[in-house]
Amino acid sequence: MRKPVRALAAVAALAVGMLGIPGQAAAAASGGSPYLPGTLRPSASQAAQDQALQKYYSFWKQHFLTTKCGSGTYAVLAPDADHAFVAEGQGYGLSIAAMMAEKDPQARAIVDGIVKFVKAHPSVNDKNLHAAEQDANCKSVNGSDSATDGDLEIAYGLLVADKKWGSGGSVNYKAEAVRIINAIKKSEVNPDTKFMRLGDWATDGKYINSSRSSDWMPGHFRAFAKATGDDDWNTIRAKHEGAVTSLQQNHAPKTGLLPDFVLGTDSTPKPPTGKFLESKYDGAYSWNACRDPWRLGVDAITAQGSAAAGQVRKMNTWIQQATGGDPAKITTGYTLAGAKTESGDHPCFTASFAVAAMSDPGGQAWLDKLFTRISSFSPDSKDYYGTGITVQVLLVLSGNYVAA
């Protein structure tokens, strides 16, 4: 999606007490999918983990959910983005609410309300995709075309909803998901390279063979193949897995980090030099790629033989060394060689690394430090991006993540 203005969230000095119970827990908490044997979990009690999740989820509901866009409608506000509503936010809302099904009696109403909002704002290029941005009056703006990250998450959230409630109610979650998944393949996957496009608008010029690394979600692609029976999604997944390995080997051998944007998807993937779409850090590990350890990490702990397991361990090993084992030193962006690009910290960078730590057999102490740090954040009512990502990371850490 277009460049959002990210607000920095303040961090409180409080820390959640660690109770020292065993951290290796293959079984997820009630409502979540089982994790692979050997997956690490925070050593804090399940109650402490759920408390941290509930704190952030309640804040997210209070500050970023609105019914202002119509009767029966919910939508996720994004005060730190270019426009009041963005596609990724609606996708986050669907996944978050569906995964909270056992914990929030309002969860299904929220899911159904976001679905209503999404369907009311179709892309001008493909009516089965979502227009990426709406203004404060709930009107689609900025071209009314799509953003791939939003559509991927909207489809995934619907699959989670189908797992939680089935599809026999007022919304046929499975049918809606399959409709969107097929549209993503048609309009947001480059048919020649099998790479994700930036949106249904990125079909020519310098954009045709470009992609966004944070759209490379192997777990989503697995779920899409399962839901549709379309094996092309496994081919698409393998293509992106290979590109991650190539980028790590050729451009980030020390850090394992990925760039926000990737060029040359028709040949050898490479980071851009300077500004490509959003900022001078488009070729660095910045505000889009900060999601990569989380997105790859969930596949590493839920899918046997996932290529992501080794990929996120590279990132996890490096960030521990770079910070001296102190999560407070994780900063807001790095070059692929590991130099800091911006100062300060932000939840999207810190929280995401915690998911990567879950697949590192020797990472228990580091994971516990990350959980303490994440749990002590004071949510920022202007920071939809950091709050939404932190809620989703806490769903994973607490065992409530659903692998659709």
Q: Phi and psi for 60 in degrees, rounded to 5? A: -60, -45
Q: Is 304 exposed, middle or buried (CB count within 10 Å of its CB: 0-12, 13-18, 19+)?
A: exposed
What stretches of 334-392 adopt beta strand conformation (E)?
Answer: none
Q: Which candidate, 225, 131, 115, 231, places its Cα nearest to that of 181?
A: 225
Q: Catalytic one among 145, 149, 153, 345?
A: 149
Is 282 an active-site residue? no
Which residues lie closer than 8 Å to 156 by C-beta, 6 or more apart?
91, 94, 95, 177, 217, 220, 223, 404
Whole-Å CA distances, 149 to 13, 89, 129: 33, 10, 11
Q: Catalytic one among 50, 88, 345, 380?
A: 88
**Sign, CA torsion 193/196/198/201:** positive
Q: How far apart are CA 191 and CA 211, in angstroms?
A: 13
Do the Cβ atoms of 360 and 347 come closer than 8 Å? Answer: no
Is 149 an active-site residue? yes
Q: How far apart are CA 401 and CA 76, in angstroms?
A: 20
Catalytic (active-site) positions? 88, 149
